[in-house]
Amino acid sequence: MSALVSEVSEVLVGLGERSYKIYLGAGLFNSESMFKTCVNSQYICLISSEAVSQLYLEQFLKNLEKFNLNKNLKIIKIILPNGESAKTWDSLNLIFTELLKFSMPRKTLILALGGGVIGDIAGLAASLYQRGVPYIQIPTTLLAQVDSSVGGKTAINHPLGKNMIGAFYQPRAVLIELDFLRTLPDREYFAGLAEVIKYGLIFDGEFFNFLEKNKNKILNKDPEILLKIIKKSCEIKSHIVSLDERESGLRAILNFGHTYGHAIETLTNYQTFLHGEAVSIGMVLALKKSMEIFNLELGLEPDLLNRVLDLLKFLNLPTDIPQNLNQTLSSENMLSAMARDKKNSGETRRLTLILLKKLGQAEICDIQI
């Protein structure tokens, strides 16, 4: 982690009494004030993954004990396997077993130190343990920093569908440590950029233009540009979540490309693509469907598809279903998996898809299949 603490940026997620702040900066975990503001509790359950714990757990625990105000600090740590394979009932039950084995009380603070998988399952555990305990998201991947750590969606997977068992449960805070990105594998970094690009497509065309203009700096992980795109992504998501916390309307546009993407992940048993990679392919499929559904005169620029393809490819993201998966991801199999998506209305022979009417404007559509 950085030896120096940079200036901390803040984004507010405005949800009344459930409001909380997102803190962004480099060297946050060398900041005594940050620990005392957010992570100050006598009882702490730290949940992480094998990969992240090897890199950051020891130093984080040292700082936790150093900066904590409670002399009788009680910490338990739970390390889960890497990847989507950890988002299961068995992993969730393991968390509960450890919490109960060590008699952790209702005022226990759960810390989710990891990527989106850890954030999702730790948040769900927090929502259920003793009918709800506080938790803090500490995302270590770009995708988790710009998307899954913000907004209170928590879940585990089911063999028949991704994130089908979960709850809306907001964290106490989100701490985005930019230094984590220094050790993030390139493939994980690029996968996270798919969600960043999504925000420009669905909500802010000028942000998409900014990403295009700065694609070389983004490719090379320029720290100044990274802070800008992460903060902007958090601001867009926070704004949408504050208007529609439980996805009864507007928030659904955040799922642009995800209905296709989740089907791709499910059909490949979460083994072939990272989430952002599946979403990248899903956004291309959704954009093609948008051009099919909406007349171009409604404002969807004819060259937008090429612009999106060029940006995704430049940032090392997939845009097509690989030839060797054409049978697994056939139209019939994709439609079957998409029909089970939790965002659907439940009507037979219809899908709920997020499509673009123009750059920066998404629309929720019920499509006949």
Any idea what the CATH number is for the domain that residue 339 is in? 1.20.1090.10
pLDDT at 40: 83
Does the annotation count 131 as an active-site position?
yes
Does the annotation count 153 as an active-site position?
yes
Mean pLDDT, residues 340-349: 64
45-99 confidence digits (pLDDT tens): 999 999 999 999 999 888 888 887 777 899 999 999 998 889 999 999 999 999 9
Does the annotation count 258 as an active-site position?
yes
Q: Which of 255, 265, 277, 363 is catalytic?
A: 255
Q: Which of 87, 153, 172, 231 is catalytic?
A: 153
Question: pTM, whole model, 2 decimals?
Answer: 0.92
Does the annotation count 195 as an active-site position?
yes
Residue 162 included in any domain? yes
Residue 250 included in any domain? yes
Residue 91 included in any domain? yes
Clarify whether residues 201 and 175 are in a common domain.
no
262-315 confidence digits (pLDDT tens): 999 999 998 999 999 999 999 999 999 998 888 655 456 678 999 999 999 999
**CATH number, domain containing residue 67:** 3.40.50.1970
Clarify whether residues 33 and 54 are in a common domain.
yes
Measured between alpha carbons, how far is 132 from 104 in angstroms, rounded to an integer?
A: 13
Clarify whether residues 239 and 311 are in a common domain.
yes
Q: Is 316 exposed, middle or buried (0-12, 13-18, 19+ CB in 10 A)?
A: middle
Clarify whether residues 199 and 178 are in a common domain.
no
Considering 182, 211, 232, which residue would you say is the last residue of a domain? 182
Measured between alpha carbons, how far is 366 from 9 in angstroms, rounded to an integer?
A: 39
Does the annotation count 255 as an active-site position?
yes
Clarify whether residues 177 and 206 are in a common domain.
no
Q: How far is CA 198 from CA 74, 275, 299, 321, in A?
A: 41, 13, 18, 19
Backbone angles phi, psi at 221, to 5 degrees: 60, 45
Clarify whether residues 194 and 254 are in a common domain.
yes
Angle among Cα 229, 182, 212 to the nearest 5 degrees reads 30
Number of domains the chain contains = 2
Clarify whether residues 71 and 175 are in a common domain.
yes
Q: 76 lies in which domain range?
A: 9-182
pLDDT at 1: 42
Does the annotation count 275 as an active-site position?
yes
Considering 139, 157, 182, which residue would you say is the last residue of a domain? 182
Does the annotation count 72 as an active-site position?
no
Percent of the chain with pLDDT over 70: 94
Does the annotation count 221 as an active-site position?
no
Q: Which of 247, 265, 277, 363 is catalytic?
A: 247
pLDDT at 3: 45
Residue of higher predicted confidence among 243 and 69 = 243
Does the annotation count 239 as an active-site position?
no
Q: Which of 262, 277, 289, 363 is catalytic?
A: 262
pLDDT at 300: 61
Residue 183 confidence (pLDDT) above 60: yes
Measured between alpha carbons, how far is 99 from 93 in angstroms, rounded to an integer?
A: 10
Does the annotation count 246 as an active-site position?
no
pLDDT at 5: 52
Residue 1 included in any domain? no
Measured between alpha carbons, how far is 98 from 102 in angstroms, rounded to an integer?
A: 6
Q: What share of the chain is helix, strand, coil (3-state, %, to 5)?
A: 50, 20, 30
